[in-house]
Amino acid sequence: MCKDAIVFFNKPQGIELEAGKTYRFCTCGRSEDGLFCDDSHEGTSCEPKEFTVDKTKAYQLCRCKSSDNLPFCSGNHSYYADSDVGKKIKF
């Protein structure tokens, strides 16, 4: 997690990812789609997290930016209400 991150959304997003491809996960919550880095983190202490997957299939990616298992959802989005979207992460 990044201490400067903001909650992009309080639900994960299911998306199909391709085996072996390198992705840059957005940890700051400021990117356009809330999933992949578009360099909107500039000026924060956040950096994208590069990752790959072993299997091509749908994954639930974290959009609250508070997962214990980034980039994947760990259920921590349940700590956030709709009113927390766009605000700093709590932990």
Nearer to ligand FES, 52 or 54 (CB): 52
CB of 81 to ligand FES, least distance (A): 22
Nearer to ligand FES, 7 or 37 (CB): 37
Backbone angles phi, psi at 57, to 5 degrees: -170, 180
Q: Which helix (H) or strand (E) holds 57?
A: strand 57-61
* Chain residues that interact with ligand FES, rule: CB under 6 A: 26-28, 30-31, 37-41, 46, 48
CB of 39 to ligand FES, least distance (A): 6
Nearer to ligand FES, 44 or 60 (CB): 44
For residue 5, give every residue at least 6 positions away whose Cβ sits within 8 Å of its Cβ, in sequence order, or none: 27, 28, 29, 44, 46, 65, 66, 88, 89
- Rounded Cα–Cα distance for residues 14 and 12 (Å): 7
Nearer to ligand FES, 36 or 59 (CB): 36
